[in-house]
Structure 1
Amino acid sequence: MRNILLCTDGSSYGENSYKYTAWIAKRLGIKQVDVLSVTDNRARNQSSQGNWSGSLSLGASDELLEKLVELDHQRAKLNHVRAKVILDHAKEMLTREGIEDVNSIHRTGFVADTVKDLEPETDLIVLGKRGENAEYNSIHLGANLERIVRVSSKPCFVTPRDFYPIDRVLIAYDDSATSSRILNFLRENPFIQDLEVHMVMVNKSDSDGGAKLDRAVTLLNDANFTVQFSLLKGEEESAIASYIEQHKINLLIMGAYGHSRIRNLIIGSTTIQLLRSTRIPALLFR
């Protein structure tokens, strides 16, 4: 693997994403981290440079337009300074955590579009579960999280507000193509091999669920993993959340989408509920 793309806005969620980024970079043997800060251009598009001809005299309209243009210039300068402060702090934190090759990137635009543009040069995307408005929307996920997971084909490591050492990992398996991709990724990149690894499958009506889970566990066992596995009953969200709490899991690995036909429109409902209800990082795959 080559590098990680870390998205940050300087929020409280972004702060501890630096520690998680350093943890997974070291585990995966990734040497380079690209840190991205995006100035959302919607603020610029909302500028009040409208048509004032019907309400102001020509001279007043021209004077106001000049002031608005100057205000836009000042706002752009402030955004540049803000991004530099965020990126410099991120680089300092990552360097302190032992990451030597840190590349700072500041772009103006939309976060999801920028991530998509940079995606060919990265192997893993890291972003906070919520952004700079988290304090005002504590029960909701960040809007950029859903957008980025929807447009990106790369694994996304979603970080919570607080950092805790990772030693127990849960793989949520559902026998989908995405689950196969997760297993292949782990076999090729055994970064959790020495940790306590759990795998669960929630069985609603599939009589062959146990056999499918056994086959998945065997694949990891053959790659020298030691896996504790369970076939769970009930609704996926509650069964997995309960398992996480009971076994003190501190990293969840799962698919971002299920089998639903609307999987290309929104993140799967199980994924959303688990991200909302748990306070642990999640490695999501499409």
Structure 2
Amino acid sequence: MENPVTSCFPDPGGERALRGLYLDTILPDASAGGGPFIYANYVSSLDGRISVPDAAGRQCVPGNIANPRDWRLLQELAGHADLLLSSGRYLRELDAGTDQDILPIGSAEDFADIRAFRARHGLKPQPDVAVLSGSLDFAVPERLLDQGRRVVAITGDSAPEARLQAHERAGIEVMPLPGALRPGARPLANALASLGHARIYAISGPYVLHTLMAADLLDALFLTTVHRIIGGYPFSSICEGELLASPGDFRLTSLYHDPSGPDGCSQTFARYERARDPDSVLAGNATGGQ
């Protein structure tokens, strides 16, 4: 983590340490529309791949773009979060041992500064967790509940009753969304707002991002691009689903070049803000940059 990154935008030329790059960034405690501030993060190849199938056919982050420097920044973004937004698929992959520990904050010594950051800003040691799932076909790792996290499953109103009751017996809150087989649109916005969290970090796959975009809920996107073309089939981008009725416009607010990506390959770290009223961008109180 010792090698610095170089600022490309908005102030090109200066060098910065990787450690603290996103921990020191400013994240509002509300979106421009008054609900929680929702942000997402992905790592992608130069040709836009964010996942490839493993030997069992399950989608996972390609090993030739996953790297500890990007993982460090994912942890720093989680350091700001009150709530992590995940999916049933992610938890199934975690339970099968096919994914990284996607529900930080990590316990390693390398992340001690992030844990200290949360303590200084009055945040719980670990963010709460919300899971979007129409079927409720997933198991919640016991360690999430052992850590004292609030775990909420947001589902449609036709989820199997047996699974709903099983989750409730396990200590999971279940929030059915009337009139929706799957979470989306206004029911999802209302459900997320009702949880009472200021900053929600979406660490799920492309279908959850599509759900957030379709409901006009995503405020910021952090994108690591590894400068490596990997190919692969089927193609998986950061947002998958039907064509959005209204495209989501974003503006670049920061860009850093990192020459120390996987195997010496370079990569860039970009932050994009939803292009709304300029006066609302980066508004609100922040946990970082103070």
TM-score, length-scaled by structure 2: 0.35
Q: Specify the structure having the higher radius of gyration (Cα).
A: 1
Give the number of the structure with larger relative contact order, counting CA–CA contacts within 8 Å between residues 6 or more apart.
Answer: 2
Please report the TM-score for the alignment, with normalisation by the length of structure 1: 0.35
- Name the structure where helix makes up a greater proportion of residues: 1
